Amino acid sequence: MPQLFLNETSCETTADPERVNHAMTDMVRAVLAVAREDRAGTLLVARLPVNAWHLAQGHAIQKWIGSPGTRDLWQRLAILQSKWPHRAAFPEGETHSDVEYRHDGDAVEGLGAAHLTGGLGISLPVEPRWDADRLTLVREELLDSAEGGSAVTEVEVGHAARREHVATHLPWIQRGANTVRQKAVEGLRSGTELWERCPELFPLLQFTPLAEQHFAELTEAWVRPVGERLGELQDAVSGWDPERQPIAPQWRSYVRTEFEMRRKLCWFPDTDGENRLFDWHCDFLPKPGRMHFRLVHEERTLRIAYVGRKLGV
């Protein structure tokens, strides 16, 4: 679960409003890039709830929300899970009041909380020092000894202020998402349960309206294998750039198009009611399980129309 901790110190500048709004847009796009990989697990953590953030001195978040081109970004940001204050993300009973973190001499409570919990810091890239995918912090911890005193060390924390920074952290985000997803799939016993979890576990995939019926008809033996295939398809489209890969994503399992003579079996109603060819497919065990879908290049995803017994068998 990628917990994203706001670095409020990056929100204490006196920069001009246009620059602050631009920086906020950059940071929100970074947050949404993380959520694209793990929508269910992405959690925003800050001192205050997101609608009470101040992005600079005298610059409330409402000024950014009211600027051109931000409405969709704000709506997507607002629906992400969030916690406040930072200690709400700590284990129960733990305050970490004996530890302080600084960057360039400034206290950075949010970045410190990210380091303590293994999370990711996020900042407005108003100042150059926050425009990086990793930051070095000075950590000072009070010593629990008769002599007292403190220990000072340098530590590194993962960080993002722009969408480009997220690429560095994708393996970490995907590992966490895959672990949670795999555990969830292992606990499912019916196709109906799997269908209900699809938006949460496979947020990048799309389904036709009739796909629900096919999921409901899955036998228990097919539920976990289908969930695993969906996970592989999710991972494939998450890194797909149709401009660089115009034919298809880099598949994580054996995926191919149907033979010409069998394509007549692969027409299904799409989301708009029109019949379209869903001839891309993959197998799942026990045989003869098949899943049929089509690529939606303009949306950088795929749409699943059928899951079940091999068509025509």
- At residue 229, the 3 state secondary structure works out as helix
Would you state the structure tokens that stand for residue 13, as one six-digit string? 């500048």
Encoded tokens for 229:
């295939």
Looking at residue 135, its pLDDT comes to 96
pLDDT at residue 117, rounded to an integer: 87
Q: Is the pLDDT of residue 148 over 80?
A: no
- State pLDDT tens for residues 93-129: 788 888 999 999 999 999 999 998 889 999 999 999 9
Return the pLDDT at 147.
65
* Average pLDDT score, the chain: 92
pLDDT tens profile 176-232: 888 888 889 999 999 999 999 999 899 899 999 999 999 999 999 999 999 999 998
Q: Return the pLDDT at 149.
A: 81
DSSP-derived letter for residue 245 is: -
Residue 141, pLDDT above cutoff 90: no
3-state secondary structure of 94: coil
Write out pLDDT tens, residues 122-139: 999 999 999 999 999 999
pLDDT band at 57 (very low <50, low <70, confident <90, very high): very high
| DSSP conformational letter for 29 | H
Residue 178: the pLDDT is 81
| The residue to which tokens 């969930």 are assigned | 227
Q: What is the DSSP string of 265-312?
A: G-EEE-TTS-EEE--EEEEETTTTEEEEEEEEGGGTEEEEEEEEEPTT
Unique residue bearing structure tokens 């009611």? 273
Of residues 216, 17, 213, 208, the one with CA closest to residue 124: 17
Residue 1: pLDDT over 80: no
Dist CA 54 CA 57 (whole Å): 7
Q: Write the pLDDT tens digit of every residue in 164-177.
A: 999 999 888 888 88
Percent of the chain residues past pLDDT 70, beyond the cut = 98
Q: What is the pLDDT of residue 146?
A: 60
How far apart are the C-alpha atoms of 280 and 292, rounded to whole Å? 6
Asked whether residue 145 carries a pLDDT value surpassing 70, the answer given is no
Amino acid identity, position 147: E
Closest CA to 124 of 139, 111, 107, 137: 111
Confidence of residue 5 (pLDDT cuts 50, 70, 90): very high
**pLDDT for 96:** 84
Judged against a pLDDT cut of 80, whether residue 40 lies above it is answered with no
Helix locations, 91-141, DSSP H: 109-117
- Contact status, residue 248 vs residue 295, Cβ threshold 8 Å: yes
b/e per residue 122-140 (b: at least 16 CB within 10 A): bbbbbbeebbbbebebebe
DSSP state, residue 60: E
Residue among 306, 267, 261, 271 at smallest CA distance from 288: 306
Q: What is the DSSP letter of 103?
A: E
Taking CA atoms, 88 is separated from 38, 53, 117, 169, 260, in Å, by 21, 17, 11, 24, 57
The reported pLDDT for the residue numbered 34 is 93
What is the structure's pLDDT at 11?
97
